[in-house]
Structures are given as C-alpha cells and as structure tokens.
Amino acid sequence: MKSVPPFRLLFIGSLALSGEDRFLPTLEAAVRGGADAFLLREKALEGRALWKIATAARAITRSHGAKLIVSDRFDVALAAGADGVHLPESGFDPRDIRDRVGGRLLIGRSVHDAGGARTAEEAGADYLMLGPLFATPGKKPLEPEAAGNIVRERSIPVAAVGGIEPERIPALAALGFRSFAVIRAIAGSAGRSDAAPLPSSLTAAESAARALAKEIARAVREEDTP
C-alpha cells in the first residue's frame, strides 16, 4: 500500500518568480487558499539571507497548518524549523541526507523517468515529484501512460508537477496521482510588482489556490470512492 502523501497541493515559489515585495504576501495567499505545503526554491540566496526568508516563510506556513520544504539546503531547512528538504535529481543522494538529518526532515526528490523514480525510492526518499506532466517552457512532457506506470510502481507518494491546472487534475487523479505541485498556476495569478495592484493580485492567487485545492479534493474523492 502506498504511504499517505505529505501534501495534496504544493506551491513552489521564489523571490525571483514573485518579486521581493510580493513573495511573502503571495505565499500567505496561497496557503490561505488551500495549499498545504510550500517549497522554497531560492537559488539566488545563500547563508543567512536564505535562512531569514525561510524563517519568514515558516512563520506563515505554520500559522496556516501548512508544511515548509526547502530546496536542496538541508542545513537551512533544519535551522528554519522546516518540515522537509527537496532534492533535485542531480543533487545530493537521499541516503547521505538521511544520515545527517535522521527522521527530522521529509526528503523529497525530483525525478523525470521510471529509472530515476526507482533509484530515488531505493535511496530512501519519502516522496517523489514527477514531471513535467504537461508542456512547460523548454521541457517535453511525459507520456500519460508512462507517468501512470511510474505512480503505480512506486510505494511512496508521487506528486505531479509541470503545467498543472484545475481542469487537468481529474485525468491525473485517474492515473494515480494524489499530490500536485504548482508554480505558475498560483504565482502567475499574483503577477509581479509591475503588473496588477497588490491587493487584486493576492486575491487572484488565493482564488487560484482555492480552485486547485477544491478540484484536487473532488477528483481524489471520486477516484478513491468504491
């Protein structure tokens, strides 16, 4: 039996994507709307600067009962009190991270094919993020049948990522996905500093998260009902 997913709707964000002035407000809008986890993917910051933004994100996620996961930097994840660390496929081996953090952090891994998924599970990852499921800039999507086979073959949760929109969730749930990760579906609604006024942008981000969360709950319930 597959283990329980650590999240249903994961929002992936960064300062570069949202803009510095909109980053934390967009995160709060996302978790208020129903995102139950946030992945901080911040490649431009190091050391104390990264810890500070992770700590601020942790305060927001905790206040809404959502998880915080930090990309790549398990040391920052621990220092900020995060729930997990997410590793790129070409990054640290999950076994090495487990040796350092024990059971204090969830360990996730990005994968792009069946071989990578098998290797990551064997190395001790707690969950996988598989994608892209739909076309994204510069990336060719996985075939639906191949994606479904990967989900069925693994005993750990596999989250779908890449071009996720509410109308695409039922088909993904039918393939076996029970977790979904999004970037532009929420961040694109909020826009950047030179786009729409902040209040309306945050309303759009919250509405986008709510629509995603609602459709995930509906689609998963429908698939899991005998």
Q: State the virtual CA torsion across 116, 86, 204, 59 in degrees, nearest 10.
A: 170
What is the domain count for the chain?
1
Residue 33 lies in a domain: yes
Do 186 and 205 form a contact (C-beta atoms < 8 A)? yes
Which residue segment(s) compose the domain that 163 sits in?
9-224
Distance from C-alpha of 86 to C-alpha of 6, rounded to nearest angstrom: 12
pLDDT value at residue 43: 87
Residue 117 lies in a domain: yes
Mean pLDDT of the chain: 94
Residue 2 lies in a domain: no
Distance from C-alpha of 158 to C-alpha of 110, rounded to nearest angstrom: 10
Residue 1 lies in a domain: no
CATH no. for residue 91? 3.20.20.70
What are the pLDDT digits (tens) for 89-136? Answer: 999 999 999 999 999 999 999 999 999 999 999 999 999 999 999 988
Do 147 and 175 form a contact (C-beta atoms < 8 A)? yes
pLDDT value at residue 194: 57
Residue 56 lies in a domain: yes
- Find all residues with CB under 8 Å of 127, minimum gap 6, and list them: 5, 6, 106, 108, 109, 156, 157, 158, 159, 179
Residue 3 lies in a domain: no
Do 158 and 117 form a contact (C-beta atoms < 8 A)? yes
What are the pLDDT digits (tens) for 25-73? Answer: 999 999 999 999 999 999 889 889 999 999 999 999 999 999 999 999 9
Residue 75 lies in a domain: yes
Residue 4 lies in a domain: no
Each residue of 151-170: b (16+ CB within 10 Å) or e?
A: beebebbbbbbbbbebebbb
